[in-house]
């Protein structure tokens, strides 16, 4: 039987875990990087450049992966190959060359606001991590269980659009659980920044969130494969769906459930399950 004809309804749960563990080992490898948007932050070694272009690559991650990567490289070139330095030190005339940047519905208005936000944040903070950490922003002690991804994402969107005269149209590019969105792109970005292993794909440069706190990036391919594997029962695809999938994956690995993003995404896009 061809792989995409596999009878998932008869696949035992432990068999699902074995399949996914094997696929994590297969796809969580440096060879995965070149054809994925995660290749964009891997161009850099400076932490702030990794954060900025990781966030931007995740934001622009819809459509063909080749196009996403090419558009991110175009954006890097427009910022003279040094995003953090450009954002901190640019003068108004330097922004003119960005006025024609566009990827699908992301346009020059969105680009300029992203730059304005990053400048505002990095003039006051060493890392973008604090933008996702409510207790750092408010100088409060986190609850005993720590902040989870839901609190982090809701706080981040509120903070991101806290600058005066933000463009309303840009709000569609930054989601949050409070909107019932799956937050696929932001969850992918958090995976890149937070997950820690020795495989070389994810960066693991943030510490306020733990890998156990992360939520699965639930894109079209992940959603489809997870449903075939009976890991999702919810009919619609929204924030609760992402939570449901993550809870099921925590049964396999409570410390690092989102590592299975490699498996589900790889099965979906590389193997056409």
5 pLDDT band, cuts 50/70/90, is very low
pLDDT reported for residue 140: 53
SS3 of the chain: helix, strand, coil, percent, to 5: 60, 0, 40
Mean pLDDT, the chain, as a whole number? 91
User: Residue 2 pLDDT more than 50?
Assistant: no
In this predicted model, what pLDDT tens digit does every residue of 50-59 receive, in sequence order?
999 999 999 9
pLDDT reported for residue 137: 52
pLDDT reported for residue 214: 96
% of the chain exceeding 70 in pLDDT? 90
Alpha helices by DSSP H, listed for the chain, are 13-27, 47-59, 65-78, 83-89, 108-122, 134-137, 149-160, 184-194, 220-228, 239-250, 260-265
User: Residue 195 pLDDT more than 50?
Assistant: yes
User: Residue 11 pLDDT more than 60?
Assistant: no
4 pLDDT band, cuts 50/70/90, is very low
pLDDT reported for residue 136: 57
Domain extents in the chain: 1-31+216-273, 33-210
In this predicted model, what pLDDT tens digit does every residue of 136-155 receive, in sequence order?
555 455 444 456 899 999 99
In this predicted model, what pLDDT tens digit does every residue of 223-260 receive, in sequence order?
999 999 999 999 999 999 999 999 999 999 999 999 99
User: Residue 7 pLDDT more than 80?
Assistant: no
Query: What are the backbone angles phi and psi of residue 12, rounded to the nearest 5°?
Result: -60, 150
- Which residue matches tokens 């590592």? 259
pLDDT reported for residue 193: 98
**Cα angle: 222, vertex 179, 168; to 5 degrees:** 115
How many CB atoms neighbour CB 81 within 10 A? 13
3 pLDDT band, cuts 50/70/90, is very low
Report, as an integer, the average pLDDT of 36-65. 97
Query: What are the backbone angles phi and psi of residue 270, rounded to the nearest 5°?
Result: -90, -35
pLDDT reported for residue 63: 86
In this predicted model, what pLDDT tens digit does every residue of 70-108 receive, in sequence order?
999 999 999 999 999 999 999 999 999 999 999 999 999
In this predicted model, what pLDDT tens digit does every residue of 165-192 receive, in sequence order?
999 999 999 999 999 999 999 999 999 9
**Cα angle: 152, vertex 154, 156; to 5 degrees:** 65
**Cα angle: 45, vertex 215, 71; to 5 degrees:** 45
Secondary structure (3-state) at 144: coil
User: Residue 6 pLDDT more than 80?
Assistant: no
Asked if 32 contacts 42 with a C-beta cutoff of 8 angstroms, the reply is no
């Amino acid at each position: 039987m061809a792989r995409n004809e596999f009878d998932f309804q008869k696949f035992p749960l432990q068999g699902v875990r074995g399949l996914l563990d094997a696929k994590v080992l297969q796809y969580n490898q440096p060879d995965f990087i070149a054809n994925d948007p995660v290749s964009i932050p891997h161009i850099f070694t400076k932490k702030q450049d990794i954060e900025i272009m990781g966030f931007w690559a995740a934001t622009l991650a819809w459509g063909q992966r080749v196009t996403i990567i090419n558009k991110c490289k175009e954006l890097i070139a427009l910022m003279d190959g040094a995003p953090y330095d450009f954002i901190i030190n640019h003068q108004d005339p330097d922004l003119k060359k960005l006025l024609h940047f566009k990827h699908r519905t992301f346009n020059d208005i969105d680009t300029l606001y992203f730059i304005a936000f990053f400048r505002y944040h990095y003039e006051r903070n060493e890392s973008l991590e604090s933008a996702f950490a409510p207790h750092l922003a408010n100088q409060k002690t986190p609850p005993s269980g720590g902040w989870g991804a839901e609190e982090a994402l809701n706080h981040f969107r509120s903070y991101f659009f806290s600058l005066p005269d933000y463009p309303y149209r840009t709000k569609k590019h930054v989601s949050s659980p409070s909107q019932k969105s799956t937050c696929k792109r932001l969850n992918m970005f958090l995976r890149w920044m937070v997950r820690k292993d020795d495989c070389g794909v994810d960066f693991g440069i943030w510490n306020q969130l733990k890998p156990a706190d992360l939520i699965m990036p639930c894109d079209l391919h992940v959603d489809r494969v997870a449903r075939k594997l009976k890991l999702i029962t919810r009919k619609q695809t929204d924030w609760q769906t992402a939570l449901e999938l993550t809870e099921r994956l925590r049964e396999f690995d409570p410390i690092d459930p989102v590592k299975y993003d490699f498996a589900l995404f790889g099965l979906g896009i590389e193997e056409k399950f």
